[in-house]
Amino acid sequence: MSVVIKVENLSKAYQLGEIGTGTIASDLERFWAKIRGKEDPFLKIGEVNDRTKKGDSNIVWGLKDLNFEIEQGDAVGIIGRNGAGKSTLLKILSRVTSPTTGSVKIKGRVASLLEVGTGFHPELSGRENLYLNGAILGMRKAEIKRKFDEIVDFSGVERYIDTPVKRYSSGMYVRLAFAVAAHLESEILVVDEVLAVGDAEFQKKCLGKMSEVSKGEGRTVLFVSHNMAAITRLCNSSILLRNGLLADYDLTHRIITNYLSIDERSTAFRQWGVEDAPGNNVARILSAGIFDENNEVYEFIDIRKPVVIKMEYEVLTDDVKLTHAFVFHNEHGLRLFDSHDINTKWKSNSLRKKGKYTAELLIPGNFFAEGKIKISPAVITSDPWELHAYGEDSISFFVKDSLDGDSARGEFVGNYGGIVRPLFNWRSDFIG
């Protein structure tokens, strides 16, 4: 595959507050540096774009020293917090704005959907805007006409196609704008978080279309979203931006794990005091933790190793029916499963006395997929169901493919999908 986007030492600086340096002398200094081919002296005081901290300079780097390449047919996610530089990067790639320093080389036409209304004239009808967008992309009228019915059908706004788009709802606007961008024959499709405006059915339709143009038509897709499930479904690789810097560029599942772990460590063991222990006047949870086979607390777990989840809780009332449970979520907040104790001597119909109890659950190796696992210990009454104590996402750990350099995935180097990764026994025979 050939490289269609090459970014070298890309930076974008913004000046906070009023435009201009404040004095004629400073403006002349900048102008004199420019005509001599020297670096702008005021960019030397530029600071990293960390919006949570007050800086000393009024020059901030929205993007700083980005270097990466994207090949034809790749679907690449761009991930980061608000203000990380995602939209700025897309605007530069779409040639809406220019970089301060560095270069971007793009091979092919770019169709962009950056925000509601991008590229549409509000006074023109949907039909007229469709032809206008095609012309901007360099398409002939006959080419646009050939795709017209397909675009309108995909957008679902046929009844309003001859109505000025200023009268469209935001959802209708996005429907038509995405349909135009995805169907007109550009080599690169750039889509920002704007799809969040659409309903669930249309978002699913858009993801399917982007997957089709990438895998089926060999076009390149750049997709910005805060929806990690959508990024995972569409993109094999992703870019992580952090405060305008390129933090990582790797397989999507690794980037998402990195992104969701920013400023958030796993908590492999948690102990509560009487004041803050989760619970009510029936029961309260005292501690919970993740342990290995040697009863050691651990935060990073080899995917092949078993893990023991433990908790200690206190019953505050005599003769009450109780059982214990763990609820598991992955790093996307997706509920993986619940596990209630119905098999031990403390099964759900047991009456508890006042006092402290322990419970532990053994999960075998080769069960969880890679990523962060969050666990919520609970104490409940099963019938009728009542929740007495619940430590939401109070403990967590990371599952890694390998902690000793010996990969658990064999010769396969791609991305495993799914929320669990069990290792089953296979049988294979030569029959011919």
In a domain, residue 282? The reply is: yes
Q: Are residues 252 and 316 in the same domain?
A: no
Share of the chain above pLDDT 70, in %: 82
Q: Please report the pLDDT score of residue 416 as a whole number.
A: 73
- Is the pLDDT at 153 greater than 60, yes or no? yes
pLDDT at 406 > cutoff 80: no
State the average pLDDT for the chain.
83
What residue numbers bound the domain in which 199 lies? 3-11+65-260
* CATH code for the domain in which residue 97 is found: 3.40.50.300
pLDDT in tens, 279-329: 999 999 999 999 988 888 988 888 889 999 999 999 999 988 888 999 999
345 and 365 assigned to the same domain = yes
The reply to whether 274 falls in a domain is: yes
Is 51 among the domain residues? Answer: no
Which residue among 211, 232, 260 closes a domain? 260
SS3 38: coil
User: Are residues 218 and 107 part of one domain?
Assistant: yes
- Residue 393 banded pLDDT, cuts 50, 70, 90: very high
Domain boundary among 217, 240, 260: 260
Is 248 in the same domain as 275?
Answer: no
Same domain (yes/no): 173, 95:
yes
- CB burial of residue 299 (10 Å; 0-12, 13-18, 19+): middle
* 136 belongs to a structural domain: yes
What is the rounded average pLDDT of the residues 94-102? 87
The answer as to whether 125 is a domain residue is yes
Q: Are the CB atoms for 221 and 181 separated by under 8 Å?
A: no
* Torsion of the alpha carbons at 189, 194, 197 and 199, rounded to the nearest 10: 30
Residues 28-51: pLDDT tens digits? 666 566 676 666 655 554 445 555
Please check whether residues 238 and 330 belong to one and the same domain. Answer: no
What's residue 179's pLDDT?
A: 85
Radius of gyration of the chain (CA): 28
Give residue-wise pLDDT tens across range 349-389: 578 889 999 999 999 999 998 888 999 999 998 778 899 99
Q: Where are the alpha helices (DSSP H) in 5-51?
A: 24-35
- Whether residue 145 is contained in a domain is answered as yes
Q: How far is CA 363 from the centre of its chain?
A: 28
Number of domains in the chain: 2
Phi-psi sector, 128: left (phi>0), alpha (psi -120 to 50), beta:
alpha
In the listed set 260, 280, 305, which residue is the last one of a domain according to the structure?
A: 260
Per residue in 200-222, pLDDT (tens digit) is: 788 888 888 888 888 888 889 99
Between 52-66, 298-312, 326-340, the lowest mean confidence (pLDDT) is in 52-66
Specify if 425 maps to a domain.
no
Same domain membership, residue 172 and residue 79: yes
Residue 38, judged by CB atoms within 10 A of its CB (0-12, 13-18, 19+), counts as exposed
**Are both 302 and 374 inside the same structural domain?**
yes
Residue 292 sits in a domain whose CATH number is 2.70.50.60
What pLDDT does 47 receive? Answer: 45
**pLDDT at position 25 over 50:** yes
Assign 261 a pLDDT band (cuts: 50, 70, 90): low
The arithmetic mean of pLDDT across residues 172-196, rounded, is: 82
106 plus 226 within the same structural domain: yes
pTM (global) more than 0.75:
no
Helix ranges (DSSP H) in 125-274:
126-136, 141-155, 170-183, 200-211, 228-234, 252-260
- Highest mean pLDDT out of 68-72, 81-85, 403-407, 415-419: 68-72
Q: Is residue 163 in a domain?
A: yes
Residues 245 and 107 in one domain: yes
**Are 364 and 290 in the same domain?**
yes
- Are 227 and 121 in a shared domain? yes
